[in-house]
Amino acid sequence: VKYLDEFRDGDIAKRIAEEIHRITTRPWATMEVCDGQTHSIIRNGIDQILPAGIELIHGPGCPVCVTPLDVIDQALAIASRPEVTFCSFGDMLRVPGSGKDLFQVKSEGGDVRVVYSPLDAVRLAESFPDREVVFFGIGFETTAPANAMAVHVAKQQGLRNFSMLVSHVLVPPAIAAIMTSPRSRVQAFLAAGHVCAVMGLHQYPTSRAFARRSRHCAGVARCCRARSSRTHAPRSAGNARPARRSARRWSRARARVPRTTTTGASGMTTRR
Amino acid sequence: MIGRAGAARPHPPDSVIVEERRVPVKPQVQAACDLLGLDPWQVANEGKLVAIVAPEVADQVLARMQAHPLGRDAAIIGEVQAGRAGMVASRTALGATRVVPLPLGELLPRIC
C-alpha cells in the first residue's frame, strides 16, 4: 500500500529530529493529543531522539480511555443479555468496568463481537433479525460520522433490531480545559490532524483568544493551526543556535519546572 | 537468527536485542497488518524458525539457510546479551531502544 512506508522511513525521521535539535533553544512542555500519536512515539522511540528539553505529556485523545465508567457498565449489562449481539471496536473489550470487562462477558457466554466498522454491525442486524444487535458507539469526531452513517443506513433499511450505545466526545473542549486549567504546564499541542480532517480548523479558538484565557504563552494555539499556516511553533527570530549552547539554559529552566507524571496535565490515566 | 554474544561468561543473565530493520517482514504482511490495526510482531507466525547460535558460526549457518529456497530471506536479526533475564528489547529504525512486550491475550485492532 502506498503512503505507508513513506511514513515509516527512519532516515527521514532522523533528519526531522536533527532539525528539531537545531531549532530548539528552550524547553517545551508539549502534549500529544491523540493516543495514536502516543502509540507511535513509544513504539518507535521518538521520545528518545528528541532534544532533552522537549517534554512529551500524553494527552486525553484515547477514545477508549475517556469512555466513562458508567457507560462501560451499561455496555456490560446490555452485552450480558441473552437476546443481544453486542458489537464493539476491538480495543474496548479489555477496558474494565466496575466489575468485569467485555472479554469476561464473552467468556461467560455473552455474544460479544469485534467489528471494524459500525456498518458491519448493521449487516449483522440484517442477517440475524431475531437478535437485538447493539453497537458501542464511542470515540471522538473521527468515529462519529461512521456511527451516524450506520444509524442512517439502519433506518433506511427499516431495521428494528439495531441500536447503539452512544458515548461521543469532542477534542477542542478537552484542549480548552487543559489550557485554562491553572495547574496545566502544557505550552504546545501536537493536535489530532485526523480530527481536523473531519471538522476543519474553525473549532479551534485563535491564539489570541487562547492567550486571553490562559496564563501560558501566546503561541500555544499555533500548532493547532500549523497545518494551515505551515509555521513552526517553537521557532522565533534569533533562536537558531546550536543545541549545545543552550543546554545550560535548559537545565536551569528544568530545575524550575516540576516533573510531570505520565498521566499528563489533564489528570487522565490510561486504563490499558 | 540471533547470535549468542558473551557465551564464554559463566552465568550472565540473558536478554535479547533485536534490530527492527533486520527482521524480514514481507511488505504485503506489513500492509495487511497496518490496514487491520495489528502488529506483525504480535501476530502468530507459523512455519518460521528462530535460531540462537554462537556468533562465530552465525555467518556459516546463515549462508546454509539462505542456500535453501525456503530460507532465502533468512537474516541475522539480533544478539543475546548480558542484561535483564528474559527481556527482549528492540532497536527501532530511529536508533532508539524499546522493550518488546509479551502479547497480552487476544490481539485487538486499535480504533485510532
Instruction: Please report the number of interchain residue pairs, chain A to chain B, with beta-carbon separation below 8 angstroms.
Output: 82
Closest Cα of chain B to A89: distance in Å? 6
Amino acid residing at A190: L
Query: And the C-alpha cell for A158?
Result: 427499516
Contact state of A103 with B98 under an 8 Å Cβ cutoff:
no
Nearest CA in chain A to B98: A45
Contact state of B92 with A139 under an 8 Å Cβ cutoff:
no
B71-91 pLDDT tens trace: 999 999 999 988 888 899 999
* Binding-face residues of B in 41-60 toward A, CB within 8 A: none
- For chain B, list residues with pLDDT below 70: 1-12, 111-112
Whether residue A204 contacts residue A176, with contact meaning beta carbons closer than 8 Å, is answered with: no
Question: Which residue among B95, B96, B112 sits closest to A34, beta carbon to beta carbon?
Answer: B112
Burial class (CB in 10 A: 0-12, 13-18, 19+), A232: middle
What distance separates the 2 farthest-apart alpha carbons in chain A?
71
Closest Cα of chain A to B52: distance in Å? 25
pLDDT, tens digit only, all 272 positions of chain A: 567 777 788 889 999 999 999 999 999 999 999 988 998 899 899 999 999 999 999 998 888 888 999 999 999 999 999 999 999 999 899 999 998 999 999 999 999 999 999 999 999 999 999 999 999 999 999 999 999 999 999 999 999 999 999 999 999 888 888 888 899 999 999 988 888 889 988 877 666 665 555 554 444 444 444 433 433 334 333 333 333 333 333 333 333 333 333 333 333 333 33
A175/A46 Cα distance (integer angstroms): 23
Q: Is B103 on the interface with A (CB under 8 A)?
A: no
* Chain B residues with CB-CB distance to A43 below 8 A: 92, 98
Of A162, A93, A159, A103, nearest to A132 (Cα)?
A162
Q: State residue A126 phi and psi, 5-degree precision.
A: -65, -40
Give A67's DSSP letter: S
A25/A242 Cα distance (integer angstroms): 8
Query: And the C-alpha cell for B36?
Result: 487491520
Give B49's DSSP letter: -
User: What is the structure's pLDDT at A191?
Assistant: 86
A103/B59 Cα distance (integer angstroms): 46
Whether residue B108 contacts residue A101, with contact meaning beta carbons closer than 8 Å, is answered with: no
* ipTM greater than cut 0.90: no
User: What is the structure's pLDDT at B4?
Assistant: 52
User: What is the structure's pLDDT at A216?
Assistant: 47
* Chain B residues with CB-CB distance to A270 below 8 A: none
Q: Is B108 on the interface with A (CB under 8 A)?
A: yes
A121/A88 Cα distance (integer angstroms): 9
Number of H helices, E strands in chain A: 12, 7
* Chain B residues with CB-CB distance to A87 below 8 A: none
Cα A261 to chain center, whole Å?
A: 18
Residue with cell 444509524: A151
Cα A140 to chain center, whole Å?
A: 8
What are the DSSP E strand ranges found in chain B? 2-4, 14-19, 52-53, 78-82, 88-91, 97-99
User: What is the structure's pLDDT at A80?
Assistant: 97
User: What is the structure's pLDDT at B60?
Assistant: 96
B36/B38 Cα distance (integer angstroms): 6
* Chain A residues with CB-CB distance to B28 below 8 A: none
Question: 10 Å Cβ neighbour count for B28?
Answer: 9
Closest Cα of chain A to B9: distance in Å? 31
User: What is the structure's pLDDT at A8?
Assistant: 81
Please report, for residues A41, A87, A122, A123, A162, the alpha-carbon distance to residue A158 in angstroms, rounded to integers and kept in the order given.
45, 19, 11, 12, 10
User: What is the structure's pLDDT at A269?
Assistant: 31
